[in-house]
Amino acid sequence: MLKHLKSNDKPIYDLLKAEEKRQHEGLELIPSENYVSSAVLEALGTIFTNKYSEGYPGKRYYGGQMNIDPLETLAIERAKKLFNADHANVQPLSGAPANLAVYFAWMEPGDTILGMDLSHGGHLTHGDPRTAAARVFNFIRYKIKDIETGEIDYDQMRDLAKKHKPKIVLAGFSAYPRELDYAKIASIANEVGAIAMMDMAHIAGLIAAKQLKNPFDFGFHVVTSTTHKTLRGPRGGLILSKGIVSNPLSPVEKKIENIPTLIDRSVFPGLQGGPHDNVTAAKAVAFKEAASPQFKIYAKQILKNAKRLSEQLMKKGFKLVTNGTDNHLMLVDMITSFNVSGLQAERVYDAIGLTLNKNMIPDDQRKPFSPSGIRLGTPAITTRGMKEKDMDQIAEWMYKAITHKDDEKYLNKLHKEVIIYCKNFPLPSDF
Ligand SMILES: Cc1ncc(COP(=O)(O)O)c(C=O)c1O
């Protein structure tokens, strides 16, 4: 294995080996990360990467598509079935370009999007002023009403929608631990003539496995995603939609039923060039895996583990934003809990081999690089086979480490324990 890489490019080979060791010996608690299967990994490393295929199946600008067309069609059909969509575009290179493609498909420069406030759980691509999208479109933000329960302020959402007349009402998050009221969001969008869009990047695997609600069941028009988080596929993006699918090479009127074609045209040639066909292959493999009974068991266990970990942490004095979780992630207010910043906590946990990330909490008074919170989740450790009792152990390490944060010797001892523990939980690529 890897004999060519080893002999042709030793520095890259060595870095790969070091990363392999890090992934084996540490506990990955970043909620947006996961470990792909060997089949996904194999598909990624194939000669599909050699091909150019600008366009869509049956409508390409280059020859030699006799294998790529059925490949992309299979990926599309699997994605549609998995999420109950009329159309799937599997070409977005990642989550950020997927969102951008929808914005440009449906809006004109200066138009308004109503999305979730960043510090309340929304994502950068939902309107952070530093993004390219924020230079073109006008982003308005809704927030959580009650930080103790996490309930979104749907009255505020409706008031803002009526006032600002957005073209898109955007749901979705990267740091919000609760379920959404999709019916309410869709009705607010309908009231003001906007489309309802969900960015399910974080919870796509949980929706695919029917463990969380599917926004399409409540009248949503568009759902975007990454394919590499709970969905456990390769790094990439995905756009699903309801509507009529027509020839992507022919212009269509900007009507709700034409959203699939507007999106296709926005992805290519609007924003991207040729799709990455090796990634398309790996996405197709991941969609098949996500439709399996084993994946449903996996998704259920992610939720059980997150619930158990959150309960154990709260018992030990960790203050969780919204006091728990309904999904795979949790947000901890480390200042209130232990008077330690998110940055300090991230470093302490790095020192014992627990990887998680510093994160803003709602209306955080601190700066993004040293916020009040940390964010953690269970998708990756569940892939390694961990169950509820392992969550008790993780909570114990987290408590011990943070209460001995300046004791290097003690932290080293905990780190050794983590390394030994991890040996019992192989990565899927070891199977
Ligand atoms: C909700 C959400 N949308 C979009 C993205 C962007 O995805 P990518 O990093 O693949 O561009 C993320 C990434 O974390 C996310 O959490």
Domain assignment present for 103: yes
Question: Going by CA atoms, what residue is nearest to atom 16 of ligand 1?
Answer: 174
Same domain, 180 and 59: yes
Q: Is 159 a catalytic residue?
A: no
Residue 431 lies in a domain: no
Q: For strands 112-116 and 138-142, give the pairing.
A: parallel
Atom of ligand 1 nearest to the CA of 174: 16
| Contact status, residue 306 vs residue 325, Cβ threshold 8 Å | yes
User: Is the domain of 204 the same as that of 134?
Assistant: yes
Q: Is residue 12 part of a domain?
A: no
Q: Are 369 and 344 in contact (CB under 8 A)?
A: no
86 annotated active-site: no
Does the residue 26 lie in any domain? no
DSSP assignment string, 304-315? HHHHHHHHHHHH
Residue 399 designated active-site = no
Same-domain check for residues 185 and 216: yes
User: How far, in Å, from the CA of 96 to the mean position of ligand 1?
Assistant: 6
78 in active site: no
Respond yes or no: is residue 46 known to be catalytic. no
Residue numbers of the domain that contains 306: 293-426
CB within 6 Å of ligand 1 — which residues? 32, 94-96, 99, 123, 125, 172-174, 199, 201-202, 226
Based on the fold, state whether residues 53 and 79 are members of the same structural domain: yes
Q: How many domains does the chain have?
A: 2
Are the C-beta atoms of 220 and 241 separated by less than 8 Å?
no
Token pair belonging to 269: 């040639």
Is residue 3 assigned to a domain?
no
The answer to whether residues 282 and 254 belong to one domain is yes
Measured CA to CA, the distance from residue 353 to residue 365 in angstroms comes to 29
Pinpoint the alpha helices (H) of 316-341: 334-338
255 and 330 assigned to the same domain: no
- Exactly one of 112, 226, 322, 325 is catalytic; name it: 226
Does any domain span residue 299? Answer: yes
Q: Please say if 69 is a catalytic residue.
A: no
18 part of a folded domain = no
Catalytic residue among 25, 54, 69, 111: 54
Residue at which a domain ends, from 272, 290, 308: 290
Same domain, 185 and 313: no
Give pLDDT tens digits for 140-176: 999 999 889 999 999 999 999 999 999 999 999 999 9
Per-residue pLDDT of the chain (431 residues; tens, 9 = 90+): 789 999 999 999 999 999 999 999 999 999 999 999 999 999 999 999 999 999 999 999 999 999 999 999 999 999 999 999 999 999 999 999 999 999 999 999 999 999 999 989 999 999 999 999 999 999 999 999 988 999 999 999 999 999 999 999 999 999 999 999 999 999 999 999 999 999 999 999 999 999 999 999 999 999 999 999 999 999 999 999 999 999 999 999 999 999 999 999 999 999 999 999 999 999 999 999 999 999 999 999 999 999 999 999 999 999 999 999 999 999 999 999 999 999 999 999 999 999 999 999 999 999 999 999 999 999 999 999 999 999 999 999 999 999 999 999 999 999 999 999 999 999 988 76
Non-local (6+) Cβ contacts of 99 within 8 A are: 123, 125, 126, 133, 199, 224
Question: Residue 130: which CATH number?
Answer: 3.40.640.10
Same domain, 246 and 337: no
Query: For the segment 385-418, what is each residue's pLDDT rounded down to a tens digit?
Result: 999 999 999 999 999 999 999 999 999 999 999 9
User: Which of 290, 324, 345 is the endpoint of a domain?
Assistant: 290
Residue 338 in any domain: the answer is: yes
The catalytic position among 80, 229, 265, 400 is 229
H-state helical runs in 145-196: 154-164, 182-191
Cα(97) to centroid of ligand 1, in Å?
A: 9
Q: What residue owns the CA closest to ligand 1's atom 7?
A: 95
Domain endpoint, select from 268, 290, 312: 290
Q: Pick the catalytic residue: 235, 288, 304, 316?
A: 235
